[in-house]
A and B are shown apart, each in its own frame.
Chain A
Amino acid sequence: MTLLHLENLTKRFGGLIAVNDVSFDVAEGTIVGLIGPNGAGKTTVFNLITGNYRADSGKIVFDGRLINNLPTHKIVSLGIARTFQTIRLFHKLTALENVLAGCHCRMKSGSVAAMFQPPWQRAEEKKALDKAMGELRFVNLETQAMNLAENLSYGNQRLLEVARALATEPRLIILDEPAGGMNDQETAQLIDTIRQIQARGVTVLLIEHDMSLVMKACEKIVVLENGAKIAEGTPPEIKANRRVIEAYLGTDEE
């Protein structure tokens, strides 16, 4: 079953066409990789899906619902969570609070409830706290709960972003270069984590430059070049695709 469906998506920045008529599907429960050379428009695609940018034309359908013009927070509450290429944590807040941010959209209490703290509000807070600790445990960061995000190691910061995204209870998680800046051992663990995420029933869409990770983890790969899709298929298919090889290695004519 298709969870996310992109159809003829186009985004221009001034004269530059960052994303050009891109279409692909992400099936529920799969791990899909989005690859391509620098500047191919991968992150722009992500930003279009999550509502950070507005598409100039084309359709984004999530679970049968058109989400093109929804604001980011609505998209998150529908079940799409993301991490960022350049880590965007709340640096001056604790790791726990970073994850609690993710719990936010599944909670109800507002300002008045906060001031008077009725029992249901306290129960909700406690539940959120448990959940946040659970997600920290999931990425093996429970011991870091009370440390400020800015004091975490680079790899842990990436994991913390994953935990924050998972706390939103997403059906689709979008990871933007999750292995960026990680060493081999951390990357291996990350692949494990991504599989575990899949095992929880969450669909994964990721951008990654680390080809070994992509080939190992993904069931389907979409390749972008200069904003346009040039290939789509399973890892072995992509490995054998001439255009992909040209895009990555360059052609002799150039």
Chain B
Amino acid sequence: MEFFFQQLTNGLAVGGIYALIALGYTMVYGVLKLINFAHGDLFMIGAYLGLTLLTALGLADYLSPFCVIALLAVMVLILVAILGVVLERVAYRPLRQAHRLSAVVSALGASIFFQNIVMLIYGAKFQVYPHDLMPRTVVHIFGMPVPLIRILILLASVVMMVALYTFIQRTKVGTAIRAAAIDQGAARLMGINVDRVIALVFVIGPALGGAAGLMVGIYYGQINFTMGWIYGLKAFTAAILGGIGNIPGAMVGGLMLGLIEAFAAAYLSVAWKDAFAFCVLILILIVRPTGLLGERVAEKV
């Protein structure tokens, strides 16, 4: 039983990160119907920027760990958001009227570009966050040791998800985003500045990705330029699993994917866990073609 709970927390920790990246995917997808394949790389850049700022500013020397992380998070969020907006301007906006898949190729191009530019700047070697950045506190839940940072990561994911959801559902800007997601043309006629909405989405989505990158950097320590591709694919899977375009769906999908992987590894085979996760995904989509929480869109004839 302890084994089960241990694996449960393992799965939740991994799933929390997936969920956080999936949120960004889902935001962009919801409004633009674009699979932003460069999203994983923005996540990776977030991790690198965090490390660069940390070492360049030497914050850790005179601030408490939590202040450092908060400060870092703010800076990384802003920088990655700027990058996201630039990405949208350069690579996606010219393709807004084109076929959906044209923008996907552009996104893949951007992904290759980001990976390689990071490799050229930082080198191909693994980069490492300082180990003493976070106090390695372990708390005991029902007698089970759980590193505090894991709880914090999961908490951060949930908080961001809830904040985002509230923002989208309750605020005027959120309403504008939802309107643009349903029908850009109609939204424009209602006086919504769709360009601004899209820019905003490209602020929020990448910023969330960047935050996830920073978390991964701080928690796991080791980062490299190809990590965006792997996490990106997992997060995309998670977003689809939950129903892409749906914010709680991204959260549910992320956590579920993490749990599926953990339990597949724990009770079946570690080597086959990804294959198993994909099998579950396929089965779920066969039964629910638009994901767990995705709306079933009846084709209007």
Contact = CB atoms under 8 A, between A and B. Distances in A.
A47 B298 contact: no
Interface size class of A (residues with CB under 8 A): under 10
Contacts of A84: 301
Interface of B: 298-299, 301
Nearest to B299: A52
A53 B301 CA distance: 9
A116 interface: no
A45 B228 CA distance: 50
A43 B298 contact: no
Counting from the closest, the 5 A-B pairs by CB-CB distance are A52-B301, A47-B301, A84-B301, A43-B301, A13-B298
A64 B301 CA distance: 27
Interface of A: 13, 43, 47, 52-53, 84
Contacts of B299: 52
A96 B298 CA distance: 30
B297 to A, nearest CB: 12
7 contacts: A13-B298, A43-B301, A47-B301, A52-B299, A52-B301, A53-B301, A84-B301
Contacts of B301: 43, 47, 52-53, 84
Contacts, number: 7
B236 to A, nearest CB: 29
Nearest to A72: B301
A43 B299 CA distance: 13
Nearest to A47: B301
Nearest to B300: A86
A84 B299 CA distance: 13
Contacts of A52: 299, 301
B102 to A, nearest CB: 14
Nearest to A176: B301
Contacts of A43: 301
Contacts of B298: 13
A53 B298 CA distance: 9
A13 B301 CA distance: 14
Nearest to B298: A13
Nearest to A43: B301
A84 B301 CA distance: 7
A165 B91 CA distance: 42
A38 B301 CA distance: 15
B159 to A, nearest CB: 34
A13 B299 CA distance: 12
A53 B299 CA distance: 9
Nearest to A50: B301
A67 to B, nearest CB: 17
Contacts of A13: 298
B43 to A, nearest CB: 37
A84 B298 CA distance: 16
Nearest to B301: A52
A52 B298 CA distance: 10
A166 B278 CA distance: 45
A47 B301 CA distance: 7
A77 B264 CA distance: 48
A106 to B, nearest CB: 23
Nearest to A44: B301
A13 B298 CA distance: 10
B186 to A, nearest CB: 15
B156 to A, nearest CB: 37
A52 B301 CA distance: 8
A147 B301 CA distance: 25
